[in-house]
């Protein structure tokens, strides 16, 4: 009898674990909700550098008032140079994943489908992760057979590395901007002196031309 | 056999503890264009969680004044109370303790006609307290320390996202300054040349033979 209870406890625990895991997949705890207007597009964007993993998941959130009618939406993701990375129409749920090859503003646009346009609009739950947030820790845990405190510390290590990379990126950006500022500074000085010399040259030309004109007209 | 089962049990408990702590989530810094009012919702699981974040108004084309008019930011709790509000800021950080769990509404209001792009970052952080420790005896105090460490690192990440958004805005201003320097000075030179040639043409006309007795 005791052996039976002891044998059943791991099964119960696994069930609880599986419940915890599936509740992970619910968008409720880890996503941002957006309101889509019934007409028009709603876009979110983010400036991302190259070689960053982007993982996103979008779901239509069910309205309590119309439980039997689930409106559908469409989504489109474009890269900074205009390439279409993901495009889906008439879905209630979708996801996309890509690794950035260009640095710039990535745009994700959502709109309500034309044949489902209810008056109020729609709520979308968007789970957008990039970089270290998109890393699949469960597969790392399985591959390297680590769990518990060691996995948590590994996650913290990943986070620290991401902070370090971000800091380097900010440093590079600051260096680029400093160069732009310095060239602008040099240009302001150069252009102002040139404007003074242009002024002088134009007045000299005026004087020379008028003197020549008056001499020709025998007025001087 | 018994010790084997006990080891599996403890491993499962540790995995459970792991899942319990991985309920801390953060988001990327998304940018949204605010025409009049834009609201973003975020779910807070545990009461007493610290909700922190920042927003920066990134895209603006100010022509004359050097100060951005700013946008208004309001955070509403699920009960309808305003938890945090700020008016007329072009970038701000916020942090508050969630009074209850539920769906929180973060709204940006743009009082002006031109649409603005706002880059925002929201992070909900949970550190297990003694109550959670007492509820589940398989949670070590070390998990509390790890959660505190993770929250500290997340706050560094939040600062970095704020700096990145501010840097983007600064870059826009710099590039706009450079364009203005080039175009306005070349335009100035052309206008100067034009004005002086118009002067010369006018003087020539004053002295032309068609108008009689015009000793200027």
Mean pLDDT, range B83-95, rounded to an integer: 91
Q: How many Cβ contacts (< 8 angstroms) between chains A and B?
A: 174
CATH label of the domain that carries residue A47: 2.60.120.380
Backbone phi and psi for residue B156, each to the nearest 5 degrees, phi listed first: -65, -40
Measure the CA–CA gap between A57 and A37, rounded to whole angstroms: 20
pLDDT at B210: 66
User: What's the mean pLDDT when you consider all of chain A?
Assistant: 82
Contact A156 B150 (CB under 8 A): yes
Mean pLDDT, range A155-174, rounded to an integer: 93
Which chain A residues have a beta carbon less than 8 Å from that of B16?
A: 13, 16-17, 20
Is A33 part of the contact surface with chain B (CB cutoff 8 Å)? yes
CA distance B84 to chain A (A): 18
Supply the range of the domain harboring residue B129.
Answer: 31-173
Percent of chain B predicted with pLDDT > 90? 47
Contact between A61 and A36 (Cβ < 8 Å): no
Greater confidence (A69 vs A144) lies with A144
Measure the CA–CA gap between B105 and B103, rounded to whole angstroms: 7
CA atoms within 13 A on the CB side of A123: 18
User: What's the mean pLDDT when you consider all of chain B?
Assistant: 82
Contact between A133 and B26 (Cβ < 8 Å): yes
Which of A130, A160, A170 lies nearest to residue B28, judging by beta carbons?
A130
B122 secondary structure, DSSP code: E
pTM over 0.80: no
Into how many domains does chain B fold?
1
Greater confidence (B171 vs A10) lies with B171
Is A44 part of the contact surface with chain B (CB cutoff 8 Å)? yes
Question: Does residue B155 fall inside a structural domain?
Answer: yes
B66: confidence class by pLDDT, cuts 50, 70, 90: low
pLDDT at B29: 81
Mean pLDDT, range A33-61, rounded to an integer: 88
Which of A17, A214, A219 lies nearest to residue B12, judging by beta carbons?
A17
Backbone phi and psi for residue A110, each to the nearest 5 degrees, phi listed first: -125, 145
Contact A205 B140 (CB under 8 A): no
**Both tokens assigned to B49:** 């969680």
A10: confidence class by pLDDT, cuts 50, 70, 90: low
**Both tokens assigned to B76:** 């509403």
Contact B157 A194 (CB under 8 A): no
Contact between B32 and B153 (Cβ < 8 Å): no
pLDDT at A92: 87
CA distance A116 to chain B (A): 22
B107-146 per-position pLDDT tens digit: 999 888 888 889 999 999 988 887 777 777 767 788 889 9
**Both tokens assigned to A15:** 């069930």
Q: Is A143 left (phi over 0), alpha (psi -120 to 50) or beta?
A: alpha
Question: Does residue B41 fall inside a structural domain?
Answer: yes
Contact between A98 and A121 (Cβ < 8 Å): no
Question: Does residue B206 fall inside a structural domain?
Answer: no
Question: Does residue A184 fall inside a structural domain?
Answer: no
Strand residues in A113-173 grouped as ranges (E)? 122-130
A146-156 per-position pLDDT tens digit: 878 889 999 99
Which of A29, A156, A176 lies nearest to residue B43, judging by beta carbons?
A29
Q: Per-residue pLDDT for A196 more than 50? A: yes
Q: Per-residue pLDDT for B54 more than 90? A: yes
CATH label of the domain that carries residue B94: 2.60.120.680
């Amino acid at each position: 009898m005791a052996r039976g209870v002891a044998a059943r406890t791991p099964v119960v625990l696994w069930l609880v674990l599986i419940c915890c895991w599936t509740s992970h997949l619910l968008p409720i705890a880890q996503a941002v909700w957006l309101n889509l207007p019934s007409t028009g597009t709603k876009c979110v964007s983010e400036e991302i550098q190259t070689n960053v993993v982007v993982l996103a998941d979008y779901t239509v959130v069910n309205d309590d008032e119309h439980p039997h009618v689930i409106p559908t939406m469409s989504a489109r993701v474009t890269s900074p140079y205009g390439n279409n990375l993901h495009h889906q129409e008439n879905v209630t749920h979708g996801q996309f994943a890509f690794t950035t090859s260009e640095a710039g503003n990535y745009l994700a646009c959502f709109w309500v489908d034309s044949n489902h346009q209810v008056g109020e609009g729609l709520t979308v739950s968007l789970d957008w992760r990039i970089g270290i947030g998109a890393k699949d820790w469960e597969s790392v845990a399985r591959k390297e057979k680590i769990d518990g405190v060691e996995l948590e510390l590994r996650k913290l290590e990943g986070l620290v590395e991401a902070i370090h990379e971000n800091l380097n990126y900010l440093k590079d950006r600051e260096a680029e901007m400093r160069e732009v500022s310095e060239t602008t500074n040099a240009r302001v000085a150069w252009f102002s002196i040139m404007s003074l010399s242009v002024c002088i040259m134009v007045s000299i030309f005026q004087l020379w031309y008028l003197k020549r004109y008056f001499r020709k007209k025998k007025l001087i | 056999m018994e010790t084997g089962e006990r080891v599996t049990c403890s491993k499962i408990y540790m995995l459970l503890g792991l899942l319990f702590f991985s309920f801390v989530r953060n988001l990327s810094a998304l940018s949204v264009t605010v025409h009049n009012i834009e609201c973003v919702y975020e779910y807070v699981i545990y009461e007493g969680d610290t909700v922190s974040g920042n927003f920066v108004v990134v895209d603006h084309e100010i022509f004359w004044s050097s100060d951005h008019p700013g946008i208004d930011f309001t955070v509403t709790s699920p009960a309808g109370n305003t938890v945090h509000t700020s008016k007329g800021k072009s970038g701000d950080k916020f942090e508050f303790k969630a009074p209850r769990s539920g769906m929180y509404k973060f709204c940006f209001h743009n009082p002006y006609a031109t649409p603005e792009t706002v880059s925002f970052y929201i992070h909900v952080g949970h550190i297990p307290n003694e109550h959670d420790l007492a509820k589940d005896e398989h949670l070590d105090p070390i998990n509390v320390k790890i959660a505190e460490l993770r929250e500290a690192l997340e706050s560094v990440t939040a600062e970095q996202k704020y700096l990145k958004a501010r840097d983007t805005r600064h870059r826009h201003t710099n590039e706009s300054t450079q364009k203005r320097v080039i175009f306005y000075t070349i335009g100035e030179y052309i206008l100067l040349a034009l004005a002086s040639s118009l002067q010369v043409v006018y003087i020539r006309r004053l002295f032309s033979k068609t108008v009689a007795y015009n000793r200027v």
